């Protein structure tokens, strides 16, 4: 996904599960920031002390378990099973998760188990979006980690676009779809800041 955007205008953050952690954003007070987060990355952006002009969630969520009762019960059980397996077989659990996402597993020998354990526990929490910040939600219809029913449950008032395929690796397999939607959002923001004079 990163190859679609100019590195001169992007800051790439890394939570540090497999190595160097990088979460610093230089802010001169004039720069307009658009936060783009994949999966738990949306919540990680909300935790930063940054004033975003807009947010993009790629297979993201605010409440991983869901608000609706049947959905919540089902996903709570899945999360508890995953956490229990992680405590016993952390590497196998992670490999299984990557297989569900249909993406290649990174070098898991470098895994920061404590950091991942902390964030697995964070999946039980609920988060709120800052008011009046535009939100674009992009997801895929075949995502089994953050399925369409969870997206609809979490984002009732946001602009949501689904791609037919991509699983939880939508950002890896359908870059053009994501790039097009994000650029449309950026064009909207530019238009609002600099409306054409009549």
Do the beta carbons of residue 77 and residue 70 sit within 8 Å? Answer: no
Q: Do 159 and 181 contact (CB within 8 A), yes or no?
A: no
Alpha-carbon dihedral 138, 140, 143, 146, rounded to 10 degrees: 20
Position 198 scores a pLDDT of: 43
Can you name the residues that pair with 22 across neighbouring β-strands? 14
Whether the predicted pLDDT of 56 surpasses 80: yes
pLDDT(5) > 70? no
Q: What is the pLDDT of residue 37?
A: 96
| pLDDT at residue 196 is higher than 60 | no
Q: Which fold has domain 2-193?
A: Rossmann fold (3.40.50)
Q: What is the pTM of this model?
A: 0.89
């Amino acid at each position: 996904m990163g190859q679609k955007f100019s590195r001169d205008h992007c800051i790439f953050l890394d939570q540090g599960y497999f190595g160097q952690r990088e979460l610093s954003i230089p802010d001169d007070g004039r720069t307009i920031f658009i936060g783009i987060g994949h999966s738990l990355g949306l919540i990680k952006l909300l935790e930063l002390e940054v004033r975003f002009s807009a947010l993009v969630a790629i297979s993201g969520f605010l409440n991983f378990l869901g608000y609706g009762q049947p959905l919540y019960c089902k996903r709570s059980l899945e999360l508890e099973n995953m956490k229990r397996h992680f405590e016993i077989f952390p590497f196998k659990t992670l490999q299984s998760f990557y297989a569900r996402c249909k993406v290649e597993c990174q070098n898991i020998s470098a895994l920061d188990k404590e950091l991942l354990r902390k964030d697995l526990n964070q999946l039980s929490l609920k988060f709120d979006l800052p008011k009046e910040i535009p939100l674009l939600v992009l997801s895929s219809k075949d995502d089994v980690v953050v399925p369409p029913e969870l997206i609809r449950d979490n984002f009732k008032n946001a602009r949501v676009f689904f791609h037919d395929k991509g699983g939880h690796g939508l950002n890896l397999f359908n870059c053009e779809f994501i790039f097009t939607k994000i650029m449309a959002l950026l064009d909207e923001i530019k238009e609002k800041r600099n409306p054409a004079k009549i």
